Amino acid sequence: MAVGWARDNAVQDQIDATVAAAVQRAKSRLPAGASLPHCEACREEIPEARREAIPGVRLCVACQGKLERTR
């Protein structure tokens, strides 16, 4: 297929780069580090399973749900 001066697969390379950049931005917004033992909003204990599943978790499930509904 003729694409002018672009090399073969140049469009796909650009799409791949755009997707990779979006994934990296999303990952950079995820919490990281040590999880808190208690929710910083309501002070309830965050279950150990949640703390292990989500590194850097700072909110309990209920408060996280409230936060996501307000966004």
For residue range 1-45, what is the model confidence (pLDDT) as tens digits?
Answer: 555 676 778 889 999 999 999 999 998 888 788 999 999 999 999
- Reading phi first (left if > 0) and then psi (alpha if -120 to 50, else beta), residue 38 is in beta
Task: Tell me if 55 is assigned to some domain.
Answer: yes
Task: Note the pTM of the prediction, 2 decimals.
Answer: 0.59
- Mean pLDDT within 36-64: 95
Provide the pLDDT for residue 4.
63
Q: Report the distance separating Cα 35 and Cα 7, nearest Å.
A: 47
Provide the pLDDT for residue 61.
96
Task: Tell me if 52 is assigned to some domain.
Answer: yes
Number of domains in the chain: 1
Task: Tell me if 1 is assigned to some domain.
Answer: no
Task: Tell me if 62 is assigned to some domain.
Answer: yes
Task: Tell me if 5 is assigned to some domain.
Answer: no
Q: Which domain holds residue 47?
A: 10-70
Backbone Cα Rg of the chain:
20
Task: Quote the longest CA-to-CA distance of the chain.
Answer: 62
